[in-house]
Chains A and B, each alone.
Chain A
Amino acid sequence: MADLTAGPMTTAEIRAEYDTMTRRKRLYGGIMLVLFVAMMMAGFRTADGRNAGSFRDGITHVFDYPAEVLSEAGEKLALLPGHLVTFFPALIETLNIAAASTLVGLVFGTLLSLLSTRGMARWPAFIPLFRRIMDICRAIPEIVIALVLIFLLGGGPVPAMIAIAIHTAGALGKLFSEVNENASLKPVEGLESAGASWGQRMWLGVIPQVGPNYVSYALLRFEINIRASAILGFVGAGGIGYELKNAMSWGQGRYDEAAAIFLLLFITITLVDQISSGMRDRLIHGAKA
């Protein structure tokens, strides 16, 4: 800002300049804030207008449905353990979908990330291609692939598994390539000088360095995939989501079952969340030590 050729500025000048700068900054900040608030308001009004029920009418009824479910579940409290046992296999299916898709996604994500990291890629010329593949895998919402596959393969866990695995491969691939960039290339060079193949270089030179980070990200992904597989069940791909949809569409009379499913899902998600965050802490901590 200050022009050095004009000689030293007086304190008053510096002060005046600082004040104008602050004022301008505040003005810009204010304008941004007003614009932002206006956008939020307009967005809210649009969403409210296009919704079936309005916000003002609905807000007082938010707890009606949970209250109904809970009161019916409360009346039939004795049946609850039975329901928990009944829906346990469905929960296992949901967990299996999540676990299998995480594993498959982990394998493909690892491959994609290794193929698209400079210095490790098998075919350096194709790095942009593999990056684009990852981007596209990541951009497709699971539900899109799942619905199309349900049409082709019929309902069941496999469409959901494939759909989640594709998305997981893309998402993990991106995170893994960030991890790879921080890995040392020296072991890879050493192995190369000893005549190791690409697979050996990656398996023995890179994976031991990045393994803990990979597993930590994969655990986090597993958590997310449980939620995703529950949602996909809701649109027809087996598991606890499907049972929830059935219990829900039946409406009153089977709310106790819905409550049991809610409970199972909540306990599972919270439990996996706690366990995986503990494991991730240990993994990353152990890697540093």
Chain B
Amino acid sequence: MTYLDAEFCPVAAKRDMDHLFWKKKLWSFALPALVLVYLAYVFVAFDMAGLWQRVSLQNAQTLVSDTYSYKTHVTRDNRNGEVSVAIEGERKGAYPKGESPAWVTLGATSVIDLEQGHEVRFGPESIEYAIPGYGLVRATPSRSKGVQAELPPGEVPDWISVSKNRLAVKTDAGRLTVTRNRSEVFRYFTGWELFFFTLDSPYHGLGLVELAQRAATGEAGAIFNDFWTNKMWRHQDVAWAIVETLLMAFLGTIGAGIIALPLAFLAARNFAPLGALRFAMRRVFDFLRGVDSLIWTVVLARAFGPGPLTGALAILVTDTGTFGKIFSEALENVDDKQIEGITSTGAKPAQRYRFGVIPQITPVLLSQLLYFLESNTRSATIIGAITGGGIGLLLTQAIITQKDWEEVAYYIVLIILMVMMMDWLSGWLRRRLIKGEGGKAKRRGSAAGKPFVLP
């Protein structure tokens, strides 16, 4: 850089400064430019331009509307004229035979009131849909002639599609599809129906006050049982899945800590006199960390099969490597004076470790364990999706069906709440346990409080 000569020359100094400024300018422009060039390369490599054609707006719409609403299907089997009503069209959400919600009147001619003047009639022969401001759409399905549709005169609007074997009408009030074999009406409602009780439960549709009264008169167990075994939302399975996920994180993190602590002594310069052993231990840690948790998961899943144990072991093995590295670094930073002091009182080696070393590294150790406990809750969700356990599995299953988006939204909310709760719990424990050490926490604050960036 610039330094002052014996004879100070303003011209030379200015030239030097100019040079320095020029260099700094170059840096401050070259670096962002490099980043931009790289991002442009990625833009091309990932084919971002072509992405817009691949975006499925249809899917986006289904996803968003499905997360906050549900639809009730009213289906007529055109071969025998039977009409059935089911929420989301699933058997688990079907109304018992002969029963229907208030807006559907079953009979020889079933009338489905879609409100705002929209009305669909499933007659003995034909299906009629009265659309206010447009007219009456009639369709007569038959095995031989397909679907014969009669529309009001004029051009066919784009929300109606007619073909030889299919009629589809899509309005704001609902949706009607008629094919040769069946006619189906969808009516959309806001909310998550059947979240608490399914239709076969006597408690379905009761108000909170009524439920509280019934619970007070000794039905609390039955009410809880109906909620807990809800076939649609499977609260029991979901609760177990969350327990499994937390269990994976807990067992994996704590187990890794227990295994890594003694091994870390073997890898610390000031505790392991044997250089070769130290080197070997460090390579073991590097290996455990380098073989990613993905590979450990895959390998362990072969031996133990899918489930929470596999996930816990995968976390355990990977984190043993990470903890080994962190703990051995913490051990290398311990203050020798405390150990000397303990030694001078005639302490045996075990006592030296217990009273001279452990209290010094406890804050670092605990805070890292707790940080990892939180981040491993997230990892356990991901590993669960691969090994097949916990909430990660439920989430992937729900996404694969591509229609239960309300369940997906529910699981996502649960996962976020679970992770945030663990974050809060780990922070709280960290403060409690480490502050509990008194003044020491202050002194080691920088080491203990420094987060090791989490996976």
B305 and A217 within 8 A (CB)? no
From known contacts A46-B247, A158-B48, infer whether A228 and B386 are also in contact, taking CB-CB under 8 Å.
Answer: no
Q: Within A116-139, which residues are at the interface with B (CB < 8 Å)?
A: 135-136, 138-139
Contact assessment for A154 and B56 in the assembled complex, using a CB-CB cutoff below 8 Å: yes
- Asked if B381 and A153 make an inter-chain contact with CB atoms under 8 angstroms apart, the answer reads no
Q: Which of B254, B292, B303, B451 contacts A40 (CB 8 A)?
A: B254
> What is the number of residues of chain B that contact chain A, defined by CB distance less than 8 Å?
69
Q: Which residue of A43, A136, A154, A178 contacts B54 across the interface (Cβ within 8 Å)?
A: A154
Residues of A with C-beta under 8 A to B312: 47
Within 8 Å CB of B292, what residues of A?
227, 230-231, 265-266, 269
Asked whether A140 is an interface residue with its Cβ less than 8 Å from the other chain, the reply is yes
In the complex formed, the residue of A with least CB distance to B417 is A139
Of the residues B48, B255, B399, B415, contact of A140 by C-beta under 8 Å: B415
A234 contact from B386, B395, B415, Cβ within 8 A: B386
| Contacting residues, chain B, for A212 (C-beta < 8 A) | none
Q: Which residues of B contact A65 (CB under 8 A)?
A: 299, 302-303
Inter-chain contact A52/B386, CB cutoff 8 Å: no
Query: Which single residue of chain B is at the shortest CB-CB distance from A221?
Result: B453
Interface size class of A (residues with CB under 8 A): 35 or more
Q: How far is the CA of A96 from the CA of B291 in the complex (A)?
A: 20
Contact A228 B304 (CB under 8 A): no
B453 — which chain A residues lie within 8 A by C-beta? 171, 175, 217, 220-221, 224
Task: For A61, give the chain B residue with the smallest CB separation.
Answer: B303
Q: Is A148 an interface residue (CB 8 A)?
A: yes
In the complex, what's the smallest C-beta–C-beta distance from B391 to chain A, in angstroms? Answer: 10
Q: Are B381 and A235 neighbours in the complex by a CB distance under 8 Å? A: no
A51 pairs with B293, CB closer than 8 A:
no
* Contact assessment for A231 and B294 in the assembled complex, using a CB-CB cutoff below 8 Å: yes
**CB-nearest residue of chain B relative to A225?**
B455
Chain A proximity mask over B349-362: 1 for CB below 8 Å, otherwise 0:
00000000000000
Give Cα distance in the complex from A211 to B35, angstroms: 15
CB-based contact A47/B56 at 8 Å: no
Does B46 lie within 8 Å of A270, measured CB to CB? Answer: no
A178–B419 Cα distance when bound, in Å, is 21
Q: Which of B37-45, B75-83, B209-217 contacts A (4 or more CB under 8 A)?
A: B37-45
Q: Are A50 and B389 closer than 8 Å at their CB atoms? A: yes
Which residues of the other chain, B, contact A175 by a CB distance below 8 angstroms?
451, 453
- In the complex, what residues of B have CB within 8 A of residue A230's CB? 292, 294
Distance A220 CA – B455 CA, assembled complex (angstroms) = 9
Residue among A64, A144, A152 having the largest count of chain B Cβ atoms under 10 Å: A144
Main secondary structure of the interface of A (DSSP, over half): helix
Tell me the smallest distance from the CB of A98 to a CB of chain B, in Å: 11
Give A147 to B305 CA distance when docked, in angstroms: 23
Residue in A64, A135, A151, A266 whose CB lies within 8 Å of B291: A266
Convert A158-191 into 0s and 1s, putting 1 for each residue whose CB lies closer than 8 angstroms to a CB of B.
1001000000000100010010000000000000
Using Cβ atoms and an 8 Å threshold, which residues of chain A touch B262?
Answer: none
Q: A143 at interface (Cβ–Cβ under 8 A)?
A: yes
Inter-subunit contact A151/B244 (CB<8 Å)? no
Against B, the Cβ 8 Å flags (1 = close, 0 = not) of A74-117 are 00000000000000000001001001100100000000000000
Complex contacts, B399 vs chain A, CB 8 Å: 147-148, 151
With contact pairs A50-B307, A58-B304 given, residues A171 and B382 touching in the complex (Cβ less than 8 Å) = no
- Taking CB atoms and an 8 Å cut-off, the chain A residues in 214-262 that contact chain B are 217, 220-221, 224, 227-228, 230-231, 234-235, 241, 244, 248, 262
Give chain A residues whose Cβ lies under 8 Å from the Cβ of B54.
153-154
Say yes or no: is A59 at the interface (Cβ < 8 Å to chain B): yes
The answer to whether A273 and B286 touch (CB under 8 A), given A62-B300, A140-B416, A234-B294, is: yes
Beyond A152-B55, A156-B46, A269-B290, whether A103 also contacts B303 by CB under 8 A is no
- Cross-chain contact B250 with A143 (CB below 8 angstroms): no
Q: Is A205's beta carbon under 8 Å from chain B?
A: no
Interchain CB contact under 8 A, A47 and B251: yes
Given contact pairs A47-B307, A171-B453, A221-B453, A151 touches B289 in the complex (Cβ within 8 A): no
Asked whether A171 and B303 contact (CB < 8 A) given A140-B415, A147-B396, A270-B286, the answer is no
Interchain CB contact under 8 A, B38 and A99: yes
Quote the shortest CB–CB distance from A7 to chain B (angstroms): 28
Q: From residue 365 to 411 of chain B, which have CB atoms closer than 8 A to chain A?
A: 378-379, 381-382, 385-386, 388-389, 392, 395-396, 399, 402, 408
- Among the listed B63, B294, B386, which residue makes an inter-chain contact with A227, where contact means beta carbons less than 8 Å apart? B294
CA–CA, A197 and B423, complex, Å: 36
Chain B residues in 8 Å Cβ range of A158: 46, 48, 51
For B390, the closest partner residue in chain A by CB is A50
Contacts of B35 in A (CB 8 A): 103
- Chain A residues within an 8 Å CB radius of B254: 40
A29 is an interface residue with CB less than 8 A from chain B: no
227-266 of chain B: CB within 8 A of chain A: 240, 243-244, 247-248, 250-251, 254-255
- Enumerate B1-59 residues with CB–CB distance to A below 8 Å: 35, 38-39, 42, 45-48, 51, 54-56, 59
Given pairs A152-B60, A153-B54, A230-B292, 7 additional interface contacts (CB within 8 A): A44-B309, A47-B247, A62-B299, A62-B303, A141-B392, A143-B396, A144-B381
- Residues of A whose CB lies within 8 Å of any CB of B are 40, 43-44, 46-48, 50-55, 58-59, 61-62, 64-66, 93, 96, 99-100, 103, 135-136, 138-144, 147-148, 151-154, 156-158, 161, 171, 175, 178, 217, 220-221, 224, 227-228, 230-231, 234-235, 241, 244, 248, 262, 265-266, 269-270, 273
Residue contacts A-B, CB under 8 angstroms, 15 given: A40-B251, A43-B247, A43-B250, A43-B251, A47-B251, A50-B389, A52-B305, A53-B303, A59-B303, A65-B303, A147-B399, A148-B408, A154-B54, A220-B453, A269-B292
Q: Which 7 A-B pairs have the closest CB atoms?
A: A52-B305, A51-B307, A53-B305, A51-B309, A58-B304, A65-B302, A270-B290
